[in-house]
Amino acid sequence: MEWEVVIGLEIHTQLNTKTKIFSAAATAYGAEPNTQACAVDLGLPGVLPVLNREAVAKAAMFGLAVDATINDGSVFDRKNYFYPDLPKGYQISQLAIPIVEHGKLDISLEDGSTKSVGITRAHLEEDAGKSLHEDFDGMTGIDLNRAGTPLIEIVSEPEMSSAKEAVAYMKKIHSIVQYLGICDGNMQEGSFRCDANVSVRHKGDKELGTRTETKNLNSFRFVERAINYEIERQIDVIESGGRVVQETRLYDADDDSTRTMRTKEEANDYRYFPDPDLLPVKLDPELLAQLQEELPELPDVKQKRFCSDYGLSDEDAEQLSTSREMADYFEQVVAEANGQAKMAANWVSGELSGALNQNNLDIAQSPVSAERLAQLISRISDNTISGKIAKEVFQDMWSSDKTADQIIEEKSLQQISDVGELEAIVDKVVAENPKQVEQYLSGKDKVFGFFVGSVMKLTKGKANPAQVNELLKKKLV
């Protein structure tokens, strides 16, 4: 039996406003518990919410970036439920008329094709508090610092058909909100997290299967693993004669599985009704025009420009444009290295990204600045050092604040380009290896690499590779 998978994501994106969506309490991460929750966040009697204009503007900016409809007159509703970290018993959200609807997003698939995924809606809402279980033996602590923090919940159409597509979509949203500067994207701190709705059906069926929702996935790796687990679990349930139950599930990273959290609620379980304390949101046309004007160059546009302006491949351009900081770093290297775009792309995507990943750093934390990397690239392009020696220099730059020129000078790493000096070394290698000479002359072309390697070994990697190749070809005839 062949199966089809249907996936939709609900991505909770924390807007990086200084104050909460309905109060003047601070939103800074990491403060002492319950030091940033005011009477409004706690829902004490007699207080009224006041909408944060900046949160509205940032939600609208996201809508513009994904070519969505920005609703004039969106309304806030009360989503009623009881939970320890929600002291007022309801969450202010948007159900009937969200601020953003009907957007779309293109994602790149593994086979090189592009898929357009619909964005159903993105609505403003307040976050709840946080339940703390550690350090409370047999009890639960409540931290309300997060209560009232502004979110947009970005809901996709159920149009993804694999975990990899879901991750590609989530990464694209992550990239866009960071380009827009509306969210720090910090997944470890919960600023960007996801609920995954997954169902399976027999191939060709039109009716959707029963879906489950796996909550609060805060890494791309967990999203992929949780979805893949859920796909296999649901197929096993159906093929064993059971039925999938609509429910909310949790992902357990320790044993890489999902488990039941609670039976899934429907909208009517939450008894939504319009919040009587908040008026419909009327958007100033001048504000929308200003936001449209302020939209930055977004990842897709930047990727195309990198291909056209710098001659990069689609793959290189996509990798370099995924992060705005990475793209800015790359362009600074190109400018400082006199336009050596291809070499800059190779170094930023290769050696630098590898070192950053190995040390769990992002580009903003790179010990090697764009200026220093550009100088290293310049020394390769002007033949001061070879590419091989450059990697050695890079390692020294990574662990010190020295420039490439300082390291090259201190270690005498300048490339040997003197024809006479190289010719003598080539002659020595040829003379000492008559057997390999005979093999090469008999047609074994692969032996040529042996001679190049021998020369590079004798010169400790400092010989000019192009000149070595040229001299060897002249000698080996």
Average pLDDT over residues 200-218: 92
Taking CA atoms, 287 is separated from 16, 53, 293, 338, in Å, by: 19, 11, 10, 40
d(CA 443, CA 242) in angstroms, rounded, equals 67
Q: Which helix (H) or strand (E) holds 124?
A: strand 114-126
For residue 477, how far is the Cα from the chain centroid? Answer: 54
Query: Is 218 in contact with 230 (CB distance < 8 Å)?
Result: no
Dihedral sign for Cα 466, 472, 474, 477, please. negative
188 contact partners, CB below 8 Å, separation of at least 6: 218
- 378-396 confidence digits (pLDDT tens): 999 988 998 888 999 999 9
d(CA 442, CA 341) in angstroms, rounded, equals 41
Query: Is 192 in contact with 177 (CB distance < 8 Å)?
Result: yes
| Residue 458 pLDDT exceeds 70 | yes
Q: At what angle do helices 314-321 and 324-336 cross, to 10 degrees?
A: 110
- With a pLDDT cut of 70, the percent of the chain lying above it is 99
d(CA 321, CA 308) in angstroms, rounded, equals 13
pTM (2 d.p.)? 0.86
d(CA 53, CA 18) in angstroms, rounded, equals 12
The string of DSSP codes covering 221-264 is HHHHHHHHHHHHHHHHHHHTT--PPPEEEEEETTTTEEEEEEEP
- 4-29 confidence digits (pLDDT tens): 999 999 999 999 999 999 999 999 99
Confidence band, pLDDT 50/70/90 cuts, at residue 267: low
Average pLDDT over residues 96-112: 94
Q: Provide the phi-psi class of 135: left if phi over 0, else alpha when psi is between -120 and 50, else beta.
A: left
d(CA 407, CA 147) in angstroms, rounded, equals 52
Amino acid at 66: V
